[in-house]
Amino acid sequence: MHERQYDVAVIGGGAAGMAAAVEVRRQGFSCAILERENQLGGILMQCIHNGFGLQEFKQELTGPEFAEEFINQVRESGADVFLDTTVADIDESEQGKELYCYSLRDGIVRLNVRAVILAMGSRERNRGNIRTPGTRPAGVFTAGLAQRLVNVEGYIPGREVVIVGSGDIGLIMARRMTWVGAKVHAVVEIQPYPSGLTRNIVQCLNDFGIPLYLSHVVSRIEGRDRVERVEIMPLENGIPDHRKSFEVACDTLLLSVGLVPENELSQDAGIELSPQTNGALVDSTMMTSVPGIFACGNVLHIHDLADYVAEEARRTGAYAAAWLQSKLPRRQIAIRAGSNVRYVSPSRLNPDQPDKLYLRTLIVKNNARLEMKLDNNIVKQKKLAHVQPSEMVSVTMTHRDVDTWQLAADSVLEVSVQ
């Protein structure tokens, strides 16, 4: 067994892991990135479309270009990188944490570290999660797998395509499949509103004349060896209307039905998870319920922009370094999701310094208002031109927004959208 020691271990080598590791090294601490794939970059490496980096690098990049910027930063930082390495367990030790890893090159590796940053990203929900009835033929793919097949492996998964779900990966694949010569017959969305970013609805569907069926479901998959057709059914007030169902002939069904944080390691480590996001609950310093373990990026909650992931991860790396120096703030107040808000992350606020909060709404509305109440007293409001569940909302709270002298031990900041 190979043994190594570091101040911080970062699990995951995507945008979150690389940004966090670079910040840890910038603060002067030793750091290792543990990545199960054979290269850094994570999901970015198969996202060949542009739209990345506008906030982080002030230029529009493709996914691989965005990843390359951070890969270069990792190299310059001097962080050690373990590729083809899977973390199997996180245990407590006298030094802090003990990680057991399986490496293609080194076999079993044990790392003794003082802190851990979780940055494992997310995974796709599949057909089993949405329980679509019918036969089980070939030709059913998650949208992310289809994206990898086309952009990385060079395979076209099918020619006649229906997409379930209007998540961003599904929308982008509607355009991508059209570009490679396939016919995308429909995008079917169970909700009465799209699940992806507005810009992707316009650029990936409207620009190519691809129909979007809102408040519809794929109610049956048919085919013996390969998908032959699907049945699509409208919903009336959430109830399937069998009389208006119709069939679409196709050989491929792509599922873009949501992402779920990769939380197995989090659960095994005894970390408290959020019932709303299925990711870890973190305080204002991005630390989980287990001291010394931090989390950021899509393993925490699903972000809609990689730029937000990188920004959050940098703060997490800085907080991990501060924890190693016993410099984390002691005073924090609880945050609660109020009306029309699904969740707020992080779940606690440091009233003595600026803190950035991310949230998702439960409603679609123009001219909305974000309202922050501390112990039922409004402390901050923000006008929002448009909100919808698929687009994250961010707000920065500063010490000027909170009267720290009037805080009680049980004070709660409630975040709502009106």
pLDDT digits (tens, 9 = 90+) for 70-106: 999 999 999 999 999 999 999 998 889 999 999 988 8
pLDDT category, 405, cuts 50, 70, 90? Answer: low
CA dist 79 and 258 (Å) reads 33
Count how many Cα atoms sit within 13 Å of the Cα of residue 2 in the half-sphere of its side chain. 12
pLDDT of residue 404: 61
For domain 2-123+260-328, give its CATH number from 3.40.50.11030, 3.50.50.60, 3.10.620.30, 3.40.50.300: 3.50.50.60
- Which ranges of 136-274 would DSSP assign to H, the alpha helix? 143-148, 168-179, 198-200, 264-268
> Where, residue-wise, is CATH 3.50.50.60 in the chain?
2-123+260-328, 126-257
pLDDT band for position 129 (cuts 50, 70, 90): confident
- Least confident window among 122-131, 142-151, 184-193, 342-351: 122-131
0.75 exceeded by the pTM? yes
Using the structure block, give the residue that is written with the tokens 């032959």: 228
DSSP H/E element including 215: none
According to CATH, the topology of domain 335-417 is Immunoglobulin-like (2.60.40)
CA 182 to chain centre: 28
* CA atoms of 312 and 86, how far apart (whole Å): 24
Does residue 354 have a pLDDT over 90?
no
Task: Provide the CA 156 distance to its chain's centre, in angstroms.
Answer: 26
Q: What is the 3-state secondary structure (H, E, C) of 15-66?
A: HHHHHHHHHHHHCCCCEEEECCCCCCCHHHHHCCCEEECCCCCCCCEEHHHH
CA angle (22, 69, 21) in 5-degree steps: 15
Phi, psi of 29 (to 5 degrees): -110, 150
Alpha-carbon gap, residue 392 to 401, rounded angstroms: 21
CATH number, domain 126-257, options 3.30.210.10, 3.50.50.60, 1.20.1260.10, 3.40.50.300: 3.50.50.60
Residues of the chain with CATH 2.60.40.10: 335-417
Residue 408 pLDDT: 76
